[in-house]
Chain A
């Protein structure tokens, strides 16, 4: 064995962090070696982000100590952490959109505090960092123009610019395409080779196995194991993480497709930026059929979903739901025609944070199902909400709790339950499991397949290729507002799809 072990760069000992009613971190030990990519794996609510916020100085632990290069340190704020050399890339980026990349990078550093800001120095330094770690960015571009992947690179450069020796990344790949994730992996490996330490928060087993050296698994605020990835497998990690065996394969019953529930013809629509987002999209979905729509975000997926749901005007073309023309009808009329929609942004669009769970459950149906003579039927609403909480496994103490108290997975279960309980003819599910943990993802997949079994046609919009391939009967690839690929699930593989998502023309036999 090794005779000389490197001493840890960062050590956390016995960290305890409580929130009212929750023990988020329960005596957690974590030690991260230089030159390693250390995964922090766990379901949502396991305490990963809390622990890292402690390390980044955002939270103060009730108990425990933090050592940096063997020295005990006190991190009262992120400023302290940054000064030591700890950087963090949050799940939600902390960038100022109107400012340029360089301006964002120097924000908060001493050079931004001067009366006259010397950006040339920043440009040079950014360029050299970008080159060294292969992080291509345009230093003079305003951040709002950048794609999500580019913004993430800016965040990493920001941390490196401040001299980070330890870089924490919170679920960094959840917003990336497979190819972008691959690129990120290279950057992180490069950093590790230089002797930096990377802490990689994730719940995606595959990338943890392929990218990380060491993995610490958290469950319910406790460490349930720390082990080198060479000693374990995806299945073992999943079991550690969830506390039980996990079914990876979704059961997809054979089903003969029925009549079409969605017909889209020559659809054109304008995006938020005023440019054409959909350029003549045409496809159909039949009863009991799940059609996966793969593509990198920003290629028209959101616009397509919104046009079908009546939330965005079609410039031309036609949408029919169950044979009924619904093009540019009001959202209410389209809901009545049989559409259910699980939107991509479950907090901003799918629910009302300051409404109770029960009130969120009746968003579309409060008038026609839960009102009599102009008065809301509270008793029926409560019964229905309790049923939804029970049937869709929404973990909450009470239907009266505000929606914002629910975790991402439970919020999604609530939305899915609400949408499916209308027995829709067509369901649009946009990124239905993005950011969810293994348990919740498994559950959402089962519910989607159960709905398909009962005859609901499903349009599954997802960037997660595994998800698209395992759930769909057919797969469409959307690129720059056009469908550039149509495959049956049987002939699809990740590589082909990934290439198509990037706009490459792929010759397929028989298509």
Chain B
């Protein structure tokens, strides 16, 4: 394949220097391109970029916002790492997160008056189980009936979204709110996840970090993780080697959905303290992006999540302070993702003149 007299050749070996330089160059390029875009839209590029930086990292509070957002992305992203490592395309993060959030809220409201030490573990288990069950449906249908998991998980997203809509307007709606918002009763303050003083930085951040280590250990140090990766890398070889491929696909979706479910609990207990409509705000999809950008590695996912969270939080700040239109913000995010993917191409391929 050649284009404009140039062609791509896969590199036989990848130089470590390039691996470091390429992302830095990408970042610079991304900044320049974003600046140009802002300029075209009539803004001041330098001022805008500065506003993004300050917005994302400028103060303890801002940093806290960035990390809180990142933690949710990490939790979802870890789930996606497990699914995509076994070559199961879990597009159902939204649904799994919602189910986790619903279960977590329900447990908290049911155990009113119980101490944090009892509620916390039960909430984790409950949210994990709910997300896992939601994921397992798609996994089982794929393993048993060879139904395409992309379609099934997307359908399950709708199911979850409308279930949530109904719950916060019906059975779980907070009583007595005149004119009422569609939301549940607030959880008792005693069972909220503790925060770092002066910020909204909560326990979920620590949890995400711990789970990243656990997922990494599971994937690379245990026979289960080995099998899961084997199924993803070559299902035929895995089957030949005596691995039950269907079982591993279900397992991957159970773990994936479970981790995403915990993200739901984290959003409820760390931020909102009650169940409300639109709890997920697209984490289920962005989680896929961070997992893939992080090379399906738990720690890579952390880095990608912080990057994405910083971008989102910084852009919001820019929007507030400079009135930059939202459409521009989305464009810049898209541009950055595109450039990062391009840098992968540069790392893995060389461009030759034909």
Q: Interface of A with B (CB < 8 Å)?
A: 19-21, 60, 76-77, 309, 311, 330-332, 334-335, 341, 343, 348-355, 359, 362-364, 366-367, 370-371, 374-376, 378
The stretch that binds A, out of B100-108, B155-163, B234-242, is: B234-242
Question: Is A354 a contact partner of B233 (Cβ separation < 8 A)?
Answer: yes
Other-chain residue from A331, A354, A375 in contact with B240 (beta carbon distance below 8 A): A331
**A407–chain B nearest beta-carbon distance, Å:** 14
Q: Is B244 an interface residue (CB 8 A)?
A: yes
Q: Which of A309, A343, A354, A363 has the most CB of B within 10 A?
A: A363
Point out the residues of chain B lying under 8 angstroms from A374, CB to CB. Answer: 222-224
Contacting pair A359 B240 (CB below 8 A): no
A355 to chain B, nearest CB (A): 6
Contact A350-B233, Cβ < 8 Å, known A20-B13, A375-B222 = no
Contact yes or no, A331 B239, CB < 8 A: yes
Cα–Cα distance between A488 and B354 once the two chains are bound (Å): 57
In the complex formed, the residue of B with least CB distance to A80 is B354
> How long is the Cα–Cα vector from A371 to B223 in the complex, in angstroms?
7
Q: Roughly how many angstroms separate A376 CA and B221 CA in the complex, as a whole number?
A: 5
Q: Find out whether the CB atom of A367 lies under 8 angstroms from the CB atom of B223.
A: yes
Interface: B243 (CB within 8 A): yes
Given contacts A77-B354, A354-B233, contact A376 B242 (CB under 8 A): no
From B11, B221, B226, B237, A350 is in contact (CB under 8 Å) with B237
Q: Is B12 an interface residue when CB atoms closer than 8 A count as contact?
A: yes
Contacts of B222 in A (CB 8 A): 371, 374-376
Known: A21-B12, A376-B222. A364 touches B242 (CB 8 A): yes
Give the CA-CA distance A348 to B233 in the complex, in Å: 11
20 A-B pairs with C-beta separation under 8 A: A19-B12, A20-B11, A20-B12, A21-B13, A60-B354, A76-B354, A311-B239, A331-B241, A332-B243, A335-B242, A341-B240, A349-B240, A351-B237, A352-B230, A352-B234, A362-B226, A363-B238, A366-B227, A371-B223, A376-B223
State whether the Cβ of B281 lies closer than 8 Å to any Cβ in chain A: no
Alpha-carbon separation in the docked complex, A370 to B227 (Å) = 13
| A363 close to B241 (CB less than 8 A) | yes
- Find chain B residues with CB under 8 A from A309 CB: 240
Contact A352 B240 (CB under 8 A): no
Say what secondary structure dominates the interface of chain A. loop
A-B pairs with lowest CB-CB distance, top 7: A332-B242, A363-B241, A20-B12, A352-B234, A371-B223, A331-B242, A352-B233
Additional 5 contacts, C-beta under 8 A, given A349-B237, A352-B230, A354-B234: A60-B354, A334-B242, A355-B233, A363-B238, A367-B223
Chain A CB within 10 Å, residue with most, of B222, B237, B244: B237
| B236: A residues at CB distance < 8 A | 348-349
Q: In the complex, A378→B226 CA distance in Å?
A: 12
Residues of A within 8 A of B240 (CB): 309, 311, 331, 341, 343, 349-350, 363
Nearest CB of chain A from residue B63's CB, rounded to whole Å: 36
The answer for the CA separation of A309 and B234 in the assembled complex, in Å, is 18
**What residue of chain A has the Cβ atom nearest to residue B354's Cβ?**
A76
Q: Contact partner of A330 among B2, B229, B242, CB < 8 A?
A: B242
In the complex, A341→B244 CA distance in Å?
17
Looking at the assembled complex, report how far the CB atom of B94 sits from the nearest CB atom of chain A, in whole angstroms.
30
Q: Which A residues touch B11, using CB under 8 A?
A: 20
| A364/B223 in contact, CB under 8 A | no
Min CB gap B249→A, angstroms? 16
Q: Report the nearest B residue to A355, measured CB to CB.
A: B233
Give A353 to B221 CA distance when docked, in angstroms. 20
CA distance A267 to B341 in the complex (A): 52
Query: How far apart are the CA atoms of A227 and B210 in the complex, in Å?
Result: 68
- Write the nearest CB–CB distance from B175 to chain A, whole angstroms: 48
Tell me the bound Cα distance from A362 to B226 in angstroms.
10
| Given known contacts A21-B12, A330-B244, A366 and B226 CB-to-CB distance under 8 angstroms | yes
- Assembly CA distance A367 to B230 (angstroms): 13
A354 to B243, CA, bound (A): 17
Q: What residues of B have a CB within 8 angstroms of the CB of A20 in the complex? A: 11-13
Mark contacts of B317-354 with chain A using CB atoms, 8 A cut-off: 1 yes-contact digit, 0 otherwise. Answer: 00000000000000000000000000000000000101
Residue of B nearest to A343 (CB): B240
- Chain B residues with CB under 8 A of A367: 223
> Interface digits, B205-233 against A, CB 8 Å rule (1 contact, 0 not)?
00000000000000001111011011001
Assess A355 versus B354: contact at CB under 8 Å? Given A330-B244, A350-B237, A363-B241: no
Residues of B within 8 A of A354 (CB): 233-234
When C-beta atoms are compared, the residue in chain A nearest to B229 turns out to be A355
Which of B13, B236, B241 has the most C-beta atoms of chain A within 10 angstroms of its own C-beta? B241
Residues of B within 8 A of A375 (CB): 221-222
A170 CA / B146 CA spacing, docked (Å): 38
Question: In the assembled complex, which residues on chain A have CB atoms less than 8 Å from the CB atom of B230?
Answer: 352, 355, 363
Report the nearest B residue to A354, measured CB to CB: B233
Q: How far is the CB of A75 from chain B (nearest CB, A)?
A: 10
A20–B230 Cα gap in the complex (Å)?
Answer: 28
Residues of B contacting A76 with CB < 8 Å? 354
Kindly list chain B residues whose C-beta atoms are within 8 Å of the C-beta of A362: 226
| CA A332 to CA B236, docked complex, whole Å | 14
Residues on the B chain within 8 Å of A364, using CB: 241-242
Q: Once bound together, how far apart are the Cα atoms of A364 and B239, in whole Å?
A: 10
Contact partners of B354 in chain A: CB under 8 A: 60, 76-77
Report chain A residues within 8 Å CB of B224. 374
Write out the residue numbers on chain A whose beta carbons fall within 8 Å of the beta carbon of B229. 355
- Enumerate chain A residues within 8 angstroms of B223, measured Cβ to Cβ: 366-367, 370-371, 374, 376
Are B237 and A376 touching (Cβ within 8 A)?
Answer: no
Chain A residues with CB below 8 A from B227, complex form: 366
How many Å lie between the Cα of A331 and that of B242 in the bound state? Answer: 5
Q: Flag if A359 contacts B226 (CB, 8 Å).
A: yes
CA distance A338 to B321 in the complex (A): 71
What chain A residues lie within 8 Å of B221 (beta carbons)? 375-376, 378
Cα A351 to Cα B230 in complex, Å, equals: 10
Alpha-carbon separation in the docked complex, A111 to B237 (Å): 42
